[in-house]
Chain A
Amino acid sequence: AQTVTQSQPEMSVQEAETVTLSCTYDTSESDYYLFWYKQPPSRQMILVIRQEAYKQQNATENRFSVNFQKAAKSFSLKISDSQLGDAAMYFCAYKRSNDYKLSFGAGTTVTVRA
């Protein structure tokens, strides 16, 4: 079974600063996908970024980027130039390429200080 671990229950960042969220996963597969989802107070699950395991290049979406270390099974999310609207819970998720379900970590709550 695949497990996703987010070791940081909470992180705090000053507005305009950078914060990095950690995620590790356990798998024996070579072909899979990794995702970061954001859940603001509205509880909506919003896709932030996705990474295909076969791609060596780290994914980037505007102020959000990942550091994907396949051998280490690590998938961290960096939020640059943090904004008040970034305050949310962030979930790391794993999906095997030929599977249907997403497996989620426990989440990291990000607080942005003005």
Chain B
Amino acid sequence: DSGVTQTPKHLITATGQRVTLRCSPRSGDLSVYWYQQSLDQGLQFLIQYYNGEERAKGNILERFSAQQFPDLHSELNLSSLELGDSALYFCASSVSVSGGAPRETQYFGPGTRLLVL
């Protein structure tokens, strides 16, 4: 158990819908990362938050957004869902040097499996 929790574990929805994935980082971790794992794209970095602020963006679609709340949990919002959005979405967390770039290891949650029908 990495200490990172994600809910829900599974999500089945229809095209055009909107869903919210939730992540709670390990105790004390300030950085949260979101990754998408799909069969055709592999594991891809989506976005990173540090202590409530967006720090880096990767291959995240405009239909997707995220935020990190004062209690450090994070939510990934996926809207106007398409079949191709079906994937495993991981949240990871790490301890970051204050204000600096994170050097520590990222620990992953169990993932949320999203199926868009």
Contact = CB atoms under 8 A, between A and B. Distances in A.
A47 B105 contact: yes
A44 B111 contact: yes
A50 B101 contact: no
By secondary structure, the A interface counts as loop
A104 interface: yes
Given A91-B43, A97-B101, A45 B90 contact: yes
A37 B106 CA distance: 10
Contacts of A106: 42
Contact of B103 (A33, A42, A43, A103): A33
Interface residues of A, number: 22
Interface string A35-56: 1010000111111001000000
Contact of B107 (A47, A95, A103): A47
Nearest to A103: B45
A43 B48 contact: no
Interface of B: 2, 31, 33, 35, 42-45, 48, 55-56, 58, 88, 90, 92, 101-103, 105-108, 110-111, 113
18 contacts: A33-B105, A35-B105, A42-B110, A43-B88, A43-B110, A44-B111, A98-B101, A100-B45, A100-B48, A100-B55, A100-B101, A101-B48, A102-B33, A102-B35, A103-B45, A104-B42, A104-B44, A106-B42
